[in-house]
């Protein structure tokens, strides 16, 4: 009775999470514009190397798929290094600095310095009397500043690239530089000027955002007021970018870029695939493209073909090359989150009742308390929802493995229907894990998580703990049947006492070490920034799977998890419980991975669904092939449970 009620509440929670998933899918489908951005400095290099004008190169890049040009803001130090600006101090180094340059640059730089220091602190431009070359002007800063500090100051976005981009119909992305001494007033003036130039997007250059450290909130306020979008580069870890993203969530656009140092190490196909996957699988909407060819007889043509390959790969996934947009908030009602959290609470009690018989009155009391607590946590905010989501990520893979083992133990040993029974139990375990993934996604689906401003907490814990719980249940002898609390407690104590008193054989130690290594590798490679890199061979294998299956399944699922889980269920159905316990424990890696797939909220739901389906299909095929090839070895490893009992009875009945 109580389990029927729990399954019903879980069903309600799944329905609520599906409503959230539907709304999230709508938001994802509306946000299909992808912006391809080329760096203006690299465009200028192409023009110089090919003998063409920058406007001609821009036109060819636009026809290849480029939608915008990134224009970087130089520092005064950069202009000095180019010989365009000379710094002088009239008599002493502590006096007001004088900058000497041509009159066109002097007009732009004087306006920029007024934005930095205010109108009363800057004099000029004036025709330089002490300079013998005609056409030069001076700009004086009425404040004693060291030469080292002046060189760090941003010189403003140059006007020429903006005019050239406008002449060919390309938008401009401003690359602003942070500087020491930025104030809320100067930040506001800088960003207001950027907006007045017709620029609507920023990607900060260097390792800091404008306003770091101490004025990031002022930057966020100006972004919101002026309607400027801020491109957040994934994996770059610019200082202050997370704080800025939290303060200006409405104005964030995810960006993918390949560093100049990394470009020479990658092939064109790898780069194309990387941008394609960034858009399709991680929600990237602004691709910052570096030119590939730097020496060629057809320098512009080769790079245009390279850009076109990226553009075509993105278009094939039905994205539109245009100006990128920010993501709209979903606005999930609180009752929907509460019902989803109630589904997690029901899952916890389903796991408990799969091992222990809980009286109806006690089960109802626990159910009411757990639903109240989980709903309260879901209502409390993002932290509370992350706690409930973590509980769900630990519960449902464990519940899936429990259903597979208890279900197999209750089915008679019939070789004729063993594969059909295996398929049913495997599907039940996977569906329960998918249900857990949907509940987690239902709790965390919001713009904050879709933009990776906040992320699912405890990802590594969610990889390890369910496997440990499953292993502990098998070792304690309580995973094969449901019984009273007293009986299960007695069974657990006796099993562990016997286990601790038993000698460890070499093959057992090797098996434990092997399992620990697998889990350690899985944990090290989990998350967005894995602690262990991927080999070249595996990268090629992944690329092959992407081409064949469109969405690549997780390797640990179809090569380790599902084959082990299938073999474990078959062994359990045949009564080979010791072998089954080891294999189902290893196979739970697949169930953990299924839930983890839906925990990546920045990945579109359709991609997560395809990845899960492909993992199951490929894993089932690999598992079936491996069982047919190696199943006899496992069969000979351990006698079925009923044969063990018969031999024990014969030995007891023999005369002594």
Within a 10 A sphere around the Cβ of 301, how many other Cβ atoms?
14
- The pLDDT tens digits for 216-258 are 999 999 999 999 999 999 988 899 999 999 999 999 999 999 9
Task: Give strand pairing partners of 257.
Answer: 288
More confident of the two residues 72 and 126: 72
Rounded mean pLDDT of 276-295? 91
- The pLDDT tens digits for 511-554 are 777 777 776 776 666 655 544 555 566 667 767 777 777 788 88
Rounded mean pLDDT of 391-397? 95
304-308 contacts at long range (C-beta below 8 A, 24 or more positions apart): 304/60, 304/61, 304/63, 304/64, 305/64, 306/268, 306/271, 307/36, 307/38, 307/61, 307/64, 307/65, 307/66, 308/64, 308/65
Least confident among 400-404, 469-473, 646-650: 646-650
- The pLDDT tens digits for 597-646 are 999 999 999 999 999 999 999 999 999 998 888 777 766 555 555 554 44
Helix residue ranges, H only, 411-505:
418-444, 447-450, 459-475, 485-501
pLDDT for 516 equals 75
Residue 288 has pLDDT above 60, yes or no: yes
Sorted by where each begins, the domain ranges of the chain are 2-24+329-647, 33-73+160-321, 78-150
DSSP letters of 520-589? HHHHHT-SSS-SS---HHHHHHHHHHHHHHSSPPPHIIIIIIHHHHHHHHHHHHTT-HHHHHHHHHHHHH
- The pLDDT tens digits for 635-649 are 655 555 555 444 444
pLDDT for 187 equals 95
> b/e per residue, 187-222, with b = 16+ CB within 10 A?
bbbbbebbbeeebbbbbbbbebbbbbeebbebbbbb
Residue 650 has pLDDT above 50, yes or no: no
pLDDT for 495 equals 87
More confident of the two residues 501 and 278: 278
Residue 503 has pLDDT above 90, yes or no: no
DSSP letters of 165-191? HHHTT-EEEEE----TT--HHHHHHHH
Task: Evaluate whether 341 touches 443 at the Cβ level (below 8 Å).
Answer: yes
**Where does the pLDDT of residue 590 fall: very low under 50, low under 70, confident under 90, or very high at 90 and above?**
very high
CATH assignment of 33-73+160-321, among 3.30.2350.10, 3.20.20.370, 3.40.50.970, 3.40.50.620: 3.20.20.370
Task: Evaluate whether 337 touches 379 at the Cβ level (below 8 Å).
Answer: yes
* Upstream peptide bond of 125 is cis (omega within 30 degrees of 0): yes
pLDDT for 413 equals 57
Alpha-carbon distance of 344 to 350, in angstroms, equals 10
pLDDT for 92 equals 61
Mean pLDDT score of the chain: 87
- The pLDDT tens digits for 89-141 are 877 656 789 999 888 899 999 999 999 999 889 998 888 666 555 678 889 99
Burial classification of residue 572, based on how many CB atoms lie within 10 Å of its CB (0-12 exposed, 13-18 middle, 19 or more buried): buried
Task: Evaluate whether 128 touches 53 at the Cβ level (below 8 Å).
Answer: no
pLDDT for 330 equals 86
pLDDT for 648 equals 46
Question: CA angle, corner 470, sides to 468 and 472, nearest 5?
Answer: 65
């Amino acid at each position: 009775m109580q389990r029927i009620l729990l399954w019903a509440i879980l069903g309600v929670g799944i329905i609520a999470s599906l409503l959230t998933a539907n709304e999230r899918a709508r938001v994802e489908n509306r946000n299909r514009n992808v912006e391809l951005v080329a760096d203006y400095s690299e465009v200028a290099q192409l023009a110089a190397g090919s003998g063409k004008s920058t406007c001609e190169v821009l036109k060819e890049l636009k026809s290849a798929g480029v939608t915008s040009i990134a224009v970087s803001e130089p520092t005064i130090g950069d202009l000095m290094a180019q010989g365009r600006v000379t710094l002088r101090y009239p008599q002493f180094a502590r006096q007001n600095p004088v900058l000497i340059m041509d009159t066109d640059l002097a007009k732009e730089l004087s306006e920029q310095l007024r934005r930095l220091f205010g109108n009363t602190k800057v004099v000029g431009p004036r025709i330089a009397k002490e300079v013998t070359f005609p056409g030069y002007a001076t700009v004086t800063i009425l404040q004693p500043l060291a030469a080292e500090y002046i060189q760090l100051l941003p010189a403003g976005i140059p006007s020429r690239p903006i005019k050239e981009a406008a002449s060919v119909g390309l938008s401009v992305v401003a690359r602003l530089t942070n500087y020491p001494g930025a104030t809320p007033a100067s930040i506001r003036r800088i960003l207001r000027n950027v907006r007045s130039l017709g620029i609507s997007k920023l990607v900060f250059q260097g390792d800091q955002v404008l306003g770091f450290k101490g004025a990031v909130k002022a930057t966020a306020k100006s972004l919101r007021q002026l309607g400027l979008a801020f491109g957040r580069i994934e994996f770059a870890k610019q200082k202050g970018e997370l704080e800025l993203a939290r303060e200006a969530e409405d104005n964030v656009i995810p960006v993918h870029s390949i560093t100049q140092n990394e470009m020479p190490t990658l092939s064109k196909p790898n780069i194309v695939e990387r941008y394609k996957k960034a858009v399709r699988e991680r929600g990237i909407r602004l691709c910052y493209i570096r030119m590939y060819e730097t020496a060629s007889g057809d320098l512009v043509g080769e790079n245009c073909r390279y850009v076109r390959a990226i553009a075509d790969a993105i278009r094939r996934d039905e994205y539109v090359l245009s100006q990128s947009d920010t993501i709209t908030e979903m606005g999930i009602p609180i009752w929907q989150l509460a019902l989803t959290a109630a589904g997690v609470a029901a899952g916890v009690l389903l796991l408990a009742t799969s091992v222990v018989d809980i009286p109806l009155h006690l089960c109802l009391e626990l159910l009411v308390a757990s639903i109240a607590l989980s709903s309260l946590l879901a209502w409390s905010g993002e932290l509370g929802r992350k706690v409930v989501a973590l509980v769900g990520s630990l519960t449902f893979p464990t519940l899936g493995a429990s259903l597979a083992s208890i279900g197999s133990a209750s089915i008679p040993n019939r070789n004729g229907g063993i594969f059909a029974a295996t398929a049913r139990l495997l599907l039940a375990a996977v569906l329960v894990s998918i249900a857990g993934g949907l509940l987690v996604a239902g709790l965390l689906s919001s713009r904050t998580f879709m933009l990776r401003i906040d992320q699912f907490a405890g990802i590594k814990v969610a990889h390890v703990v369910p496997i440990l719980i499953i292993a502990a249940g098998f070792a304690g002898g309580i995973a094969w049947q449901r019984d009273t609390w007293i009986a299960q407690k007695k069974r657990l104590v006796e099993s562990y006492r016997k286990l601790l008193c038993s000698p460890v054989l070499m093959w057992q130690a090797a098996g434990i070490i092997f399992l620990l290594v697998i889990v350690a590798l899985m944990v090290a490679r989990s998350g967005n920034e894995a602690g262990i890199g991927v080999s070249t061979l595996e990268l090629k294998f992944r690329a092959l799977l992407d081409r064949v299956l469109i969405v690549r399944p997780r390797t640990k699922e179809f090569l380790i998890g599902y084959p082990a889980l299938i073999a474990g269920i078959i062994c359990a159905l045949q009564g080979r419980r010791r072998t089954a316990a080891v294999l189902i424990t290893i196979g739970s890696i697949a169930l953990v991975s299924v839930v983890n797939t839906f925990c990546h909220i920045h990945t579109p739901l359709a991609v997560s669904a395809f990845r899960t389906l492909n993992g199951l299909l490929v894993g089932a095929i690999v598992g079936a092939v491996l069982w047919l090839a190696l199943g006899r070895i496992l069969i000979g490893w351990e006698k079925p449970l009923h044969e063990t009992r018969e031999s024990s009875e014969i030995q007891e009945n023999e005369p002594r």
